[in-house]
Structure 1
């Protein structure tokens, strides 16, 4: 993993501003980062590469999303009923 990414993860406190989601309601930001994390993992695992860069998305969605939503989405992923495209 590059030093720049590891430094950002080390200094991570909370989700930074994302220009795609300028409004106060961060629901879409939460959901998008959840999808991005799983897409990143899927893509890197398919190439047999290290999934450490995907950690950024996980930290962002963990800081934005309610725990109940994440548990529900994880259960849906395991059951194959998740509505998002990963």
Structure 2
């Protein structure tokens, strides 16, 4: 079940991390944020992650698509608030 608390928690965490990621010039900092998000994904509500990922196994965990995945996830979560 996807409850409001899990949506709010995910939105706050992803939104905060993405704002830093978006404006960071430090590759180390950006890598640390990607690692933090991947760790968060492992513990987040599984149904919520499945909804956001839409069948993509590496959603929010792939370096190549990370920025686009973050924007998509934040937009989707915002709609659910």
What interval of TM-score do these two structures reach, taking the shorter chain for normalisation?
Answer: 0.3 to 0.5
Structure whose alpha-carbon radius of gyration is higher = 1
TM-score by length of 1: 0.40
Higher relative contact order (CA 8 A, sep 6+): 2
